Structure 1
Amino acid sequence: MFWLSVLALTTAAVSASLRAAIASSLKAQWIDPIAPVEAGELIGAALGSAFLGFAITLFVASALLDKIGAKRIVIGSGICFILGTALIVGAGAIATGMTIYSLVWLGMMLSGIGWGLAESSINPLTARLYPEETTHRLNVLHAWYPGGLIIGGLAGVFLANVLPWQAIMGLVFLPAIGVVIIGATTTFPPAPAAVEGESFGTMIGEVFRRPSFFVWFGAMFLTASSELAPGQWLDVALTNRVGMRGILLLVYVSALMFVFRHFAGRLAGKLSNPGLLWISSLLAAIGLFLLSRAQSPVAALVASTVWGLGVCAMWPTMLASVAERYPRGGAWALGLVGSAGALASFFVLPALGGMFDEAKVRLAGGPEAFKQLTGEALRQVEDAAASQSFAKLALVPIVLLFVFGAIWLSERRRRATVAAA
């Protein structure tokens, strides 16, 4: 069950990294010719639609997990990845003009639905399997998300000169078919009796009776904005400016995350979850600011290292914090927090694209002037615009320093009071 969960999450990650890897090529071939001024916002919205599908699905499927059954949900995950990928790679063959963009948007959303179906089952399952070491096991499971990013990212880079981007994106079919086959031939255990006894009303009550839950909900929105959105934007924004493929930076950061997540749970045990999240937010803020200033491969690697070490433990540690603090919230509480993280990317990616478009037009001297730019002049304007968009994003984890700092201090004082008593 654990390794099937790993395969499902790896499929989601491969899909995400390949979407990021082919975004520039897709934008150049299909979006730039029909909407040159709005191209950044449009590709950002398309990439963000995957997170919208993820958010909605995670919210709904988590609540219905034990009624629908994990088996059906996992199989549905693989099917959505297959259909979504088919729409992305086949849009140009079956449509023209903005209809192509609409099909790409829909395909990316279907891929996000597949991701949501996967996470809605594997996170509660892991928490049930390992109740005494939830933080550690969720970090180990989610180490395979960056693992999948590495696989997809390297494929996107090294096959770029051999295969068209449509064929590269089509690599998602391989693990997705594996998820369907293995899921269909695996016997899933029934939900534990304790879970069967928890009604949906009980799960809702656990959330709404304890307002502190919404602090974690809001924090998840910001942590995901610091982690997932920049990862999808790296190749579009940094490739020309730093002199290397931005997707390689995502692969490098993913390698850091893959290794570090195997140890993050142990570190959280020493610092506490809020303590680990505070340090993560500090590093993320510094890393994003450095990325906005990077002008060379070395500077980009240094900035990516700081940012990667910052964000690598955020998602699983947030999930573990909610699972430990709101146990009666069940799968729905985890799904609700995960939805917040996904919605963040849905809103932030188009915003990043919009800031990029606004800056490039302003720096060029207006829409008509921008349309006339070519070659080196165009590259310089877009590089400066990309730098400004990353600098604004660095403000997000700064807010988290105050949130997690307050939680960390509050819990330390509570423990000290209990110990003294």
Structure 2
Amino acid sequence: MQPNIHRGQLFMASCFALLVTSLSFGIRAGLLDTWGTEFNLSKSELGIISASAFWGFPLAVIIGGMVVDIIGMKKLLVTAFVFHLLGILLTIVAGGYWTLFLSTLFIGVANGTVEAACNPLVAAIYPDNKTTKLNHFHLWFPGGIVIGTLVVLAFNKMGLGWKVQVATMLIPTLIYGYLFSRLKFPVTERIAAGVSTGDMYRSLLNPLFIFMMVCMFGTAITELFTNQWIDVLLRNVTSNAILILTLTTGVMVIGRGLAEPVVHRLSPQGVLLLSSVFAALGIYLLGHTSGNMIFVGALIFGVGVCYFWPTMLGFVSENLPRTGAVGLNFMGGAGMFAVSVYMMFIGGHYDTLLAQKLPAGADLKLYNEAPPGSAMASALTEAKKAAGPEILNTTMIIPVILIIAFTGLVVYMRGRKKDQQLSPVGAV
């Protein structure tokens, strides 16, 4: 560890930064339907608005990963603070599709910049316990979603509007901006170890890294798409759809907090395989059950996706350490890019399914505008009740494929010699 580096304080500030990222998911997940009604937006338009966060994220995380070794992690986090502030304020004054689109894009850029700086920061300050500490860091993602969804529920009960709900994100934003402004940062692990830039980029061509990037597409879609759209997909199946998200993410918080014994006992690749099994089973139950069994499905799904994101990053950092910050951030960027593409596809597919379940020639926009209790509104409710589980059936294919992929990874890693961890130049 480099002198004058307070890793406990840096870790705490990183958790606040990730809390803002996750609040943006939790609060917005609970507001998609509200925005759709208030601004008369179709599911395709809501899908594009949601996807814009996932466009900004990979753009920021990949560019950030390429420059973090040059400009340092502190400057990246100042950039994240500015974009978070702009995105939150623009959301509060939003008046329709384009302002919601731009504000979500800004928040996506901020979220990606946080990941670009904080993932290599956690790896640098905890070099001997990366996967566990990345799980502890990333527990604040589901943790923030839990807080965000509870804020939405509580503020709705109190009759407070969605703009007040969004404004709550300003509090942790100002906290992490202040904390990072006064702390000293280490250099990245790759710089400390003296690994050249060329060696780092050559390491990205390792077939194992490419395989893990492809798997990241699937793990990210399974976790983030399902969590972000659960309120839209199941709102007409259960009266407590947003509580499903709260339950799922609550399980994720607990699981990531208990990551150390799990990861050490099963190995990262073993954790990923079991996660895929539980994720597939959880999505199946969400899409094929009703009543209290939906909440059982949510619990199982939460167990499944709990370790996906941080363990994917931890696996790469431990087994492909020469990929450095770029490797970690390419993984995150690949995952978010895949989610953005999938969201756009699913948004259009959802509208198509609704149209198929309404009378022939029905104008979906007119049905969306129909007054509550009318025949058109009732028909739309029934169409949504049938379409949501069909989207979950489509998504379930992804973790099933991951079961096969991670089974192969477990077999491969049994015969592979583990890469030596990087040692800082002049370490004491």
Q: State the TM-score, normalizing by the size of structure 1.
A: 0.91
Look up the SS of the partner of 1:394 in the other structure.
helix
Match of 1:17 among 21, 26, 30: 26
Match of 2:300 among 294, 299, 306: 306
Q: d(CA) in 2 for partners of 1:352 and 1:192? A: 39
1:185 Cα deviation from its structure 2 partner? 2.3
Look up the SS of the partner of 1:174 in the other structure.
helix
1:25-44 per-residue CA deviation (whole Å, 9 max, x = no partner) reads 01111133xxxxxx112101
Aligned residues: 399
CA distance 1:83–1:367, change in 2 (3 Å) = farther
Structure with the higher fraction of residues in helix conformation: 1
Alignment check: 8 A CA contact 2:124 2:188 kept: no
1:191 Cα deviation from its structure 2 partner? 4.5
Q: d(CA) in 2 for partners of 1:386 and 1:289? A: 12
Tell whether 2:65 aligns with 1:62: yes
1:171 Cα deviation from its structure 2 partner? 1.3
Match of 1:27 among 9, 21, 36: 36
Q: d(CA) in 2 for partners of 1:193 and 1:20? A: 37
Q: d(CA) in 2 for partners of 1:367 and 1:76? A: 49
1:135 Cα deviation from its structure 2 partner? 1.0
CA distance 1:190–1:413, change in 2 (3 Å) = closer
Alignment check: 8 A CA contact 1:82 1:172 kept: no
Q: How does 1:192-207 map to 2 (within 5 A)?
A: 194-195=191-192, 197-207=194-204
**2:284 is aligned with what amino acid?**
F
Q: d(CA) in 2 for partners of 1:27 and 1:165? A: 13
Identical aligned pairs, as a percentage?
29
CA distance 1:367–1:214, change in 2 (3 Å) = farther
Q: How does 1:374-389 map to 2 (within 5 A)?
A: 374-389=376-391
Q: How does 1:72-111 map to 2 (within 5 A)?
A: 72-92=75-95, 100-111=96-107
Q: d(CA) in 1 for partners of 2:234 and 2:161? A: 21
1:43-77 per-residue CA deviation (whole Å, 9 max, x = no partner) reads 01111110111111101101111222211211221
Alignment check: 8 A CA contact 2:142 2:252 kept: yes
Q: State the TM-score, normalizing by the size of structure 2.
A: 0.90
Q: d(CA) in 1 for partners of 2:154 and 2:32? A: 16
Alignment check: 8 A CA contact 1:57 1:116 kept: yes
Question: Residue in 1 aligned with 2:357?
Answer: 363
1:235 Cα deviation from its structure 2 partner? 1.1
Q: How does 1:194-343 map to 2 (within 5 A)?
A: 194-195=191-192, 197-208=194-205, 210-244=206-240, 246-296=241-291, 298-343=292-337
Q: d(CA) in 2 for partners of 1:211 and 1:218? A: 11
Question: Residue in 1 aligned with 2:119?
Answer: 123
Q: d(CA) in 2 for partners of 1:111 and 1:179? A: 15
Question: Residue in 2 aligned with 1:97?
Answer: none
Tell whether 2:154 aligns with 1:152: no
**1:345 is aligned with what amino acid?**
V
CA distance 1:361–1:192, change in 2 (3 Å) = closer
Match of 2:403 among 401, 406, 412: 401
Q: d(CA) in 2 for partners of 1:266 and 1:177? A: 34
1:388-409 per-residue CA deviation (whole Å, 9 max, x = no partner) reads 1111100000000111000101
Alignment check: 8 A CA contact 1:55 1:342 kept: yes
Tell whether 2:28 aligns with 1:49: no
Alignment check: 8 A CA contact 2:188 2:325 kept: no
Alignment check: 8 A CA contact 2:121 2:188 kept: no
**2:207 is aligned with what amino acid?**
P
**1:302 is aligned with what amino acid?**
V
Q: d(CA) in 2 for partners of 1:380 and 1:54? A: 35
1:413 Cα deviation from its structure 2 partner? 4.2
Question: Residue in 1 aligned with 2:129?
Answer: 133
**1:167 is aligned with what amino acid?**
V
Look up the SS of the partner of 1:159 in the other structure.
helix
**1:171 is aligned with what amino acid?**
T
Q: Structure 2 stretches of 5 or more lacking a match?
A: 1-9, 368-374, 418-428
Q: d(CA) in 2 for partners of 1:343 and 1:190? A: 27
**2:320 is aligned with what amino acid?**
Y
